[in-house]
Amino acid sequence: MNDLENLLMLDGEVFPLDNGCWVKFEAKEVKPSSAIPHGVKYSLTLHDKRNQRVIGYDNAHSFKPTRKYGAKKETYDHIHKQMEVVSYEFESASQLIEDFWKSVDYYLENNL
């Protein structure tokens, strides 16, 4: 089984954590496009005890980039860190999962 298949198998999984937070995985195979060249639409999220998303890795929607004069919405891989959105370079499904869990660990160590 390759790393993309592993990610796709996680679709719909919810993992409750001991501290009341929880993680949700969504991953669907899609036709590759300029916005999704790797062919997977994904959303990996960490939610706090109040069910608010505090971290999210996704490419599931378009958003307005935070540029001074940019009004164009773009769709690309990105990370939500509470209210901040930063770009994310998708290398592989396994790297995505690893990066996500590192962000979860960092958040839990520094914010609870």
18: left (phi over 0), alpha (psi -120 to 50) or beta: alpha
State the total domains in the chain: 1
For range 57-71, the mean pLDDT: 57
pLDDT at 69 over 50: no
Q: Of 104 and 62, which is predicted with more confidence?
A: 104
Contact 87, 78 (CB under 8 A): yes
- pLDDT given for residue 3 in this prediction: 85
Residue 72 is predicted with a pLDDT of 45
Element (H, E) at 102: helix 93-111
At 34, the pLDDT band (50, 70, 90 cuts) reads: confident
Q: For all residues of the chain together, what is the average pLDDT? A: 81
Domain of residue 89 covers: 3-111
Cα 26 → chain centroid: 9
Tokens read off for 61: 């929607």
